[in-house]
């Protein structure tokens, strides 16, 4: 999974270097929506509960994937500062079964992920998450997770959140 840093924030689903036009668009979206949004970020436990209530997510006992989640948090200041003082990450990882509600996610995989399993890692402490295999699911989880007060001051986070909300018809609801 490739990622880049934009304005001291790393995001998993921005998979290409941004252009000046991208950055200008993100700043425009930020200027339009930042004051209309409220902090609403849910916990990692709530995000896990959302995932498992909506998809056939099979818990994985995979030390390597747990380490990827933990490593991403600890290696990136923007994520590590979301940990309460003295707390360590507590990752849970899932693989989506190719059945039921997950079938449309598998059918709509980007070419980059075609045929691969959809894997999800969620840190129960910080709420950090990653998705490998489905940009659609990443967008859905980002829209559901919401933004913290700190993230609301970041033009990229706001623009990405607005794009994810729009994708699922949730923008107007979030602005209420």
Instruction: Give me the tens of pLDDT residue by residue for the chain, a chain 176 residues long.
Output: 333 333 333 333 555 788 999 999 999 999 999 999 999 999 999 999 999 999 999 999 999 999 999 999 999 988 999 899 999 999 999 999 999 999 999 999 999 899 999 999 999 999 999 999 999 999 999 999 999 999 999 999 999 999 999 999 999 999 97
In three-state secondary structure terms, 42 is coil
With b for 16 or more beta-carbon neighbours within 10 A and e for fewer, the 102-124 pattern comes to: beebbeebeeebeeeebbbbbbb
CB neighbours (10 Å) of residue 41? 17
Name the CA dihedral angle for 83, 157, 55, 129, rounded to a multiple of 10 degrees. -30
| C-beta contacts of 45-50 below 8 A and 24+ residues apart | 45/124, 47/122, 47/127, 47/129, 47/141, 47/144, 47/145, 48/92, 48/122, 48/124, 50/141, 50/144
In this prediction, residue 4 carries a pLDDT of: 30
Are 162 and 171 spatial neighbours (Cβ–Cβ below 8 Å)?
Answer: yes
In this prediction, residue 15 carries a pLDDT of: 59
pTM of the predicted model as reported, rounded to 2 decimal places: 0.88
In this prediction, residue 61 carries a pLDDT of: 93
Q: What is the largest CA-CA distance in the chain?
A: 43
């Amino acid at each position: 999974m490739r990622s880049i840093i934009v304005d001291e924030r790393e995001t998993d689903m921005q998979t290409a270097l941004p252009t000046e036009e991208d950055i200008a668009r993100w700043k425009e979206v930020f200027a339009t929506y930042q004051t209309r949004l409220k902090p609403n970020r849910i916990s990692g436990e709530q995000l896990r509960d959302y995932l498992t209530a909506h998809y056939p997510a099979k818990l994985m006992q995979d030390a390597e994937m747990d380490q990827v989640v933990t490593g991403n948090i600890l290696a990136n200041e923007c994520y590590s500062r979301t940990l309460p003082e003295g707390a360590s990450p507590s990752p849970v990882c899932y693989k989506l079964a190719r059945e039921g509600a997950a079938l449309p996610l598998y059918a709509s995989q980007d070419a980059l992920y075609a045929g691969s399993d959809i894997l999800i890692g969620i840190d129960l402490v910080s709420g950090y998450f990653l998705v490998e295999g489905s940009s659609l699911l990443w967008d859905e989880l980002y829209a559901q997770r919401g933004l913290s007060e700190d993230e609301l001051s970041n033009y990229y986070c706001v623009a990405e959140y607005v794009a994810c909300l729009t994708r699922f018809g949730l923008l107007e609801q979030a602005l209420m």
